[in-house]
């Protein structure tokens, strides 16, 4: 039986997820920046299409510019808070979990979604690639394949 390390600062010579007892690579390791960015692009495109189809958002003007962001927020809140991954996460083989490895739950899903939609916490990350939105929500994005 392996024991998880307590969340805290990464060791000076550590790797992404070392302080959380995550493996260096493969299934269960911390998702890297490239796949995370692709997942967000997938989610944003899907949310923009939903906003256009259901709420009259137009890529060239029409509708409100906040509509895709509102759909993106609801997608993240519902999907991450319940099943742990958005459509983009699933396509890219990732899942959001609590630092302990358990399910995210509604409160952490709400905190993470609000901060992600503020954008600034999502583009500020530590030297190991973990975003501030994940730090504050107590979550981590893991590889599942």
Q: Which of 106, 139, 107 lies closest to 122, judged by CA?
A: 139
Q: Is residue 22 part of a domain?
A: no
Q: Is residue 134 part of a domain?
A: yes
Which domain, by its residues, includes 92?
28-143
Q: Is residue 18 part of a domain?
A: no
Determine the average pLDDT of the residues in 23-52.
94
Q: Is residue 80 part of a domain?
A: yes
Question: Is it the case that residue 72 has pLDDT exceeding 50?
Answer: yes
Q: Is residue 78 part of a domain?
A: yes
Q: Is residue 15 part of a domain?
A: no
At 33, is the pLDDT very low, low, confident or very high (cuts 50, 70, 90)?
A: confident
Question: Is it the case that residue 116 has pLDDT exceeding 90?
Answer: yes
Q: Which of 105, 145, 140, 143 lies closest to 20, judged by CA?
A: 140
At 2, is the pLDDT very low, low, confident or very high (cuts 50, 70, 90)?
A: very low
């Amino acid at each position: 039986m392996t024991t998880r390390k307590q969340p805290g600062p990464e060791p000076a010579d550590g790797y992404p997820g070392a302080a959380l007892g995550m493996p260096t690579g493969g299934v269960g390791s911390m998702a890297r920046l490239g796949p995370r960015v692709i997942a967000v692009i997938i989610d944003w495109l899907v949310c923009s299409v939903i906003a256009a189809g259901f709420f009259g958002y137009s890529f060239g003007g029409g509708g409100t510019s906040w509509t895709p962001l509102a759909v993106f927020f609801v997608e993240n809140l519902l999907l991450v808070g319940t099943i742990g991954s958005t459509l983009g996460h699933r396509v890219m083989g990732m899942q959001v979990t609590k630092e302990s490895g358990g399910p995210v739950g509604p409160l952490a899903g709400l905190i993470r979604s609000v901060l992600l939609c503020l954008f600034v916490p999502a583009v500020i990350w530590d030297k190991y690639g973990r975003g501030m939105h994940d730090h504050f929500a107590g979550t981590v994005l893991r590889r599942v394949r």
